[in-house]
Amino acid sequence: MAVEVKMPQLGLTMEEGTVSKWVKGEGDTVKVGDILVEITTDKLTSEVASEAEGTLIKIVAKEGEDVPVKGILAYIGQAGEAIGGATAAPVAAPAAKKAGKTTVAVIGGGPGGYVTAIRAAQLGGEVTLIEKNKLGGTCLNVGCIPTKVLLHSAEALAEVKEMAQLGINVEVKGIDWSKVQAKKSAVTNQLVSGVSGLMKANKIKVIEGVASFASKDTLAVTKKDGSKENLTFDKIIIAAGSVPAVPPIPGVKENANCVDSTGALSFETIPKSLLVIGGGVIGIELATAYSRFGTEVTVVEAMTKLLPMMDGELTAQLRKMMEARGIKIMTDAKVQSVEAAGAATKVNVEVGGKVEAFLAEKVLVAVGRRTDTEALNLDAVGIANDRGRISVNDKMETNVANVYAIGDCLGKVMLAHVASAQGEVAAENALGEAAVYNGATNPSCVYTDPEFAGVGLTEEKAKEMGISFKVGKFPLMANGKALIMNGGVGMIKFIIGEEYKEVLGVHILGPRATDLIGECALAIGLEATVEDIIATIHAHPTVTEAVREAALAAEKRAIHIPNK
């Protein structure tokens, strides 16, 4: 029986080696300890000695070929012996295939694309990532991270103003906006260069350029320097993301004071007044930040409530808090048009059957985002999409074999952690594993003051689905830590299935809500019951105690509030 000669593992981190030189040739007689082949890795050169005696009947990996650790290099046996049922000579294919790497292209380097690329590389893929702009995508450059930097400064300012209540007398001398902006750039740059380092560490080739499908397995890449190249891959994963949508409101496009979220993150000075079109996540987060910086903020939302996908009861509480802080909020209101009014802008809003005019120095247009798929040439190669929103199944496969899509470019849930989770699923499927995406544990977080987070079903959704459920609520006024942190503002709310007592949803308005929601997502993922939450001891004094108390309240067992 032929003995396999395999690529050795020469160190903990070694994943593959290159066959640099065969010392023995096919047909040579070999003894135990004879040097057969020289291999190199990026760190060292080594020799592979024979562990068997006989004839080198077949060399599978040619000189120059990369072979994964434990991949087959050759066979030693008796002259003319069959390998795996066939004669020695023609049997190279299975081992050669094993030695060859799956080539993977990832289009886009946002939190979807770069995570996909890393996972694909971890699974042995030879990965190329093509990014037309900056690694980190929307999230690191003009999304999650820069907004949170502004919000952090705004929150710190609010806290300083309230220091006297804590017995600390400080005076706010003003805001150095250029330093706020510098901090934003520093954090963003550090994270972007971190992603670049991760690409190198994972041996992912990064091409700066725009990718477009030339055929189902070939990308036409126009590089930053203007050169063009067609590249063919075994697997292609699209992570092209999204860009701000521009509504067809007369005057918006032409008016320089109307900006999208990217513009609103980089105002030259803090505007005196800001009108926000769209009371969704971007609108509410930036309204929170600028109002804390002293801007007079007005929010105009077309629907009957802000943050339409979040729990209605807690959204109403948040609205009251924002209004108490001086933010003017109009729901069921439609912007009719925008026009110049000297250096400012006049926004005509239809509200309560009348058209009212509002003057603002700047107008933030935040009415949603659209997929950034125009350059991809999807239709030409038959990739199914609905006006640019790519269609996939739960394995993240498109209708075209070996082409996957993930993240914002699907035009569904546009969140960084969803893009990353879907990216891992796509990479695993592309590299031969069997993974499916399940969004049940996906938390929605809004970085307001206090924070707002939810996972699973809202009360409205559970009703709409006809599910029998009960609700457990705990006001944070009755939680010691919350009382210390923000005066006890906020609430935690559980939605529990009536029959099996499973956790269906949890909604939190309060300090650190976006961290607290992790436990609740885990509970949903593990199909935990309310009893599981109750049986878990939560540390004192923490806001997490209130999570358990809200679960107790669903069972009418709350300790620190009366049970109704």
Binding footprint of ligand NAI on the chain (CB under 6 A):
247, 277-283, 285, 300-303, 308, 334-335, 366-369, 414-415, 445-447
HEC letters along 209-277: EEEEEEECCEEEEEECCCCEEEEECCEEEECCCEEECCCCCCCCCCCCCEECHHHHHCCCCCCCEEEEE
Given CA atoms 397, 400, 406, 409 in this order, what sign does their dihedral have? negative
> What residue 108 binds from ligand FAD, ligand NAI, none (CB within 5 to 8 A, per partner kind)?
ligand FAD
Residue 129: phi and psi, rounded to 5, are: -110, 130
Question: In this complex, which beta carbon is closest to ligand FAD, that of residue 259 or of residue 489?
Answer: 259
> What residue 300 binds from ligand FAD, ligand NAI, none (CB within 5 to 8 A, per partner kind)?
ligand NAI
CB burial of 301-321 (b: ≥16 within 10 Å; e: otherwise) equals bbeeebbeebbbbbbebbbeb
Binding site for ligand FAD (CB under 6 A): 107-113, 130-133, 137-139, 143-144, 147, 210-211, 239-242, 261, 282, 372, 375-376, 407-408, 414-417, 419
Question: In this complex, which beta carbon is closest to ligand FAD, that of residue 139 or of residue 517?
Answer: 139
Query: What is the closest distance, in whole angstroms, from the C-beta atom of residue 89 to ligand FAD in the complex?
Result: 45
Query: What is the closest distance, in whole angstroms, from the C-beta atom of residue 108 to ligand NAI in the complex?
Result: 16
| Structure-token pair, residue 50 | 């024979």
Query: What is the closest distance, in whole angstroms, from the C-beta atom of residue 148 to ligand FAD in the complex?
Result: 6
Task: Give yes or no for a contact between 469 and 495, defined as CB atoms under 8 angstroms apart.
Answer: yes
Query: What is the closest distance, in whole angstroms, from the C-beta atom of residue 360 to ligand FAD in the complex?
Result: 19
Query: What is the closest distance, in whole angstroms, from the C-beta atom of residue 162 to ligand FAD in the complex?
Result: 25
Tell me the residue nearest to ligand NAI as measured from the CB.
Answer: 280
> What residue 419 binds from ligand NAI, ligand FAD, none (CB within 5 to 8 A, per partner kind)?
ligand FAD
Distance of CA 449 to the CA centre of its chain: 23
> What residue 278 binds from ligand FAD, ligand NAI, none (CB within 5 to 8 A, per partner kind)?
ligand NAI
Looking at residue 277, its amino acid is I
Question: In this complex, which beta carbon is closest to ligand NAI, that of residue 300 or of residue 530?
Answer: 300
How far CA 300 is from CA of 296, 365, 414, 441, in Å, comes to 14, 10, 22, 31
Question: In this complex, which beta carbon is closest to ligand NAI, that of residue 258 or of residue 277?
Answer: 277
Query: What is the closest distance, in whole angstroms, from the C-beta atom of residue 427 to ligand NAI in the complex?
Result: 22
Question: In this complex, which beta carbon is closest to ligand NAI, that of residue 278 or of residue 511?
Answer: 278
Q: Is 538 a catalytic residue?
A: no
Task: Give yes or no for a contact between 285 and 446, defined as CB atoms under 8 angstroms apart.
Answer: yes
> What residue 138 binds from ligand NAI, ligand FAD, none (CB within 5 to 8 A, per partner kind)?
ligand FAD
> What residue 377 binds from ligand NAI, ligand FAD, none (CB within 5 to 8 A, per partner kind)?
none
Distance of CA 149 to the CA centre of its chain: 18
Question: In this complex, which beta carbon is closest to ligand FAD, that of residue 243 or of residue 302?
Answer: 243
CB burial of 193-207 (b: ≥16 within 10 Å; e: otherwise) equals eebbebbeebebebb
The single residue of 152, 538, 540, 560 carrying the catalytic annotation is 540
| Structure-token pair, residue 357 | 């005019």
DSSP per-residue codes, 172-183? -----HHHHHHH
Q: Mind telling me the catalytic residues?
A: 540
